[in-house]
Amino acid sequence: MRYTDLDGDGKDISFSQEEADVDDLEAQARSDAADARVAKRHK
């Protein structure tokens, strides 16, 4: 599916954007947790 195929009703683009935002928040949380573990190890 080409990107332009998503433009029809607009819903697909906003939905996939929301999904990407959720994935990004989850990735950020994992990154923060890893940073915290490393910080503890280096004290």
Instruction: Tell me the domain boundaries of the chain.
Output: 3-41
Residues 6+ apart with CB under 8 A from 26: none
Per the CB < 8 A criterion, the answer to whether 23 and 29 are in contact is: no
Average pLDDT over residues 15-32: 85
Q: What is the model's pLDDT at position 1?
A: 43
Per the CB < 8 A criterion, the answer to whether 37 and 43 are in contact is: no
Q: What is the model's pLDDT at position 17?
A: 73
The predicted model scores a pTM of 0.52
